[in-house]
Amino acid sequence: MVDYIDAKNLKLSKKDMMTCTMCGFCKSVCPTFEGIGKDTGVARGRMILSYGLLMKDLPADGSVIEALYQCTTCKDCERRCPSKIKVVDVVERARRDLVDAGHMLPRHRKVVDSVRKYGNPYGEERSVPEALGEKPRRARVGYFAGCTSAYRNPKISQATLSILKKLGEDYTVLNETCCGSVLGRIGLEEDAVKQMQRNIDAITEQGVEEVVFSCAGCYRMFKEEYPRHVEVPFKVKHISEYLAEKDLDLGKLEKKITYHDPCHLGRHSGVYQAPRDVLSKVPGAEFKEMPKTSAEARCCGGGGGVRSAFPELSEKIAGRRVDQAEFADVLVTCCPFCVTNLRSGGEKTGSKVEICDLVELVEPLL
């Protein structure tokens, strides 16, 4: 059956799609184009497909759905696009229309079912405080670990908690649930907003003044997306911003280090300097930037639901990013998702570069 969808969300981006001049500048930066090598794997191809869906010139078949879900939503094309097209908005609106029409990739369906049932994408029955082994209480600072650090990369959440403790902070873990990022990226805005309200209610009850994040994706949600839907009655800070403000007395680390900007923290949230300020406080460390860095940083390939639905593509992109850090002993980043994906990519290419989160680097030196 030929399936033309009612693209009511895409209608809002019609002007954007029509503004694409097909110049192809987005090809030079798109991480998925590098991995796929076809025009449907780059912003301009995705603009054509979305426009086709809107005008009912194209049915929502498997190839169209795949191309729209292979975008990591890294936003690098928007920086490069002379027509200033909001590519990520177009892609995410197309995804909402596809989901509304009953099209969801099987691997995403599993993730969505898990968030609805357990409040996290990993099918975990434990709450985040249980996974972290701490009891939530009232305190000045709340630590929002996020599902990936709490359940899949606990070294990052444990390092963050240890840092807060060593700095004498009045902190607590939070009665958190999934921040909603994964739902928003897949195209379930309503479900994402429900998660937002759940988190705001739970955190407000704990009376914290400031919430600190070690996950770039959760941080972006609270900083950029929550305020569009719910009231956020506390300050939000990424742990790199929190640490950059502190007078840190760190031990020596005589290694060559470099830094990968997570798309969620950099291009989506505008935080570039804080992690670099923290790294500059490490005595003995020799810091050098990667070839593509800050606003021009290449995506690790893990975002936008791509790692869960297309793991091979995701690892291929990550491997290329790790290759750009071969001059360093340690590649530091600020997101558990980037850490996991870069490590997978590095393993595939046989890279010798050590990959770690900023908190994993700082904690033992504190």
Among 6, 11, 18, 24, binds ligand SF4 (CB under 6 A): 24
> Shortest approach of ligand SF4 to residue 45 CB, angstroms?
8
Dist. CA 155–CA 357, nearest whole Å: 9
> Angle 79-81-84 (CA atoms, 0-180°, nearest 5)?
85
Shortest reach from residue 81's CB to ligand SF4, in Å: 3
- Compute and round to an integer the Cα radius of gyration of the chain: 20
Q: What distance in Å separates the CA atoms of residue 5 and residue 39, rounded to the nearest whole number?
A: 22
Binding of ligand SF4 at residue 26 (CB under 6 A)?
Answer: yes
Give least dist CB 94 to ligand SF4, A.
12
Segment near ligand SF4 (CB under 6 A), from 25-33, 57-65, 169-177, 196-204?
A: 25-33
**DSSP per position, 268-283:** TT---HHHHHHHTTST
Q: Which of 7, 10, 17, 29 binds ligand SF4 (CB under 6 A)?
A: 29
Alpha-carbon gap, residue 290 to 322, rounded angstroms: 10
Select the span of 14-22, 264-272, 308-316, 348-356 touching ligand SF4 (CB under 6 A): 14-22
Q: How far is the CB of 292 from ligand SF4 (least distance, A)?
A: 12
Identified binder of ligand SF4 from the candidate list 10, 36, 48, 85, rule CB under 6 A: 85
Q: Establish if 18 lies at the interface with ligand SF4 (CB under 6 A).
A: no
CA separation for the pair 87, 49 (Å, rounded): 12
In terms of Cβ atoms closer than 10 Å to its own Cβ (0-12, 13-18, 19+), residue 102 is exposed
- Give yes or no for residue 20 binding ligand SF4 (CB under 6 A): yes
Q: Considering the rule CB under 6 A, would residue 88 count as an interface residue with ligand SF4?
A: yes
Is 21 a binding residue for ligand SF4 by CB under 6 A? The answer is: yes
- As given in the structure block, the two tokens for residue 27 are 């090809």
Quick check: 98 binds ligand SF4 (CB under 6 A)? no
Is the separation of the CB atoms in 42 and 27 below 8 Å?
Answer: yes
Q: For residue 170, how far is the Cα from the chain centroid?
A: 28
CA separation for the pair 211, 208 (Å, rounded):
7
Among 53, 60, 65, 71, binds ligand SF4 (CB under 6 A): 71
When asked if residue 118 is in the footprint of ligand SF4 (CB under 6 A), the reply is no
What residues contact 343, with CB distance under 8 A and at least 6 apart?
355
Interface with ligand SF4 in residues 34-63 (CB under 6 A): 42-44, 46-47
**For binding to ligand SF4 (CB under 6 A), which residues are involved?**
20-26, 29-32, 42-44, 46-47, 71-77, 80-81, 83, 85, 87-88
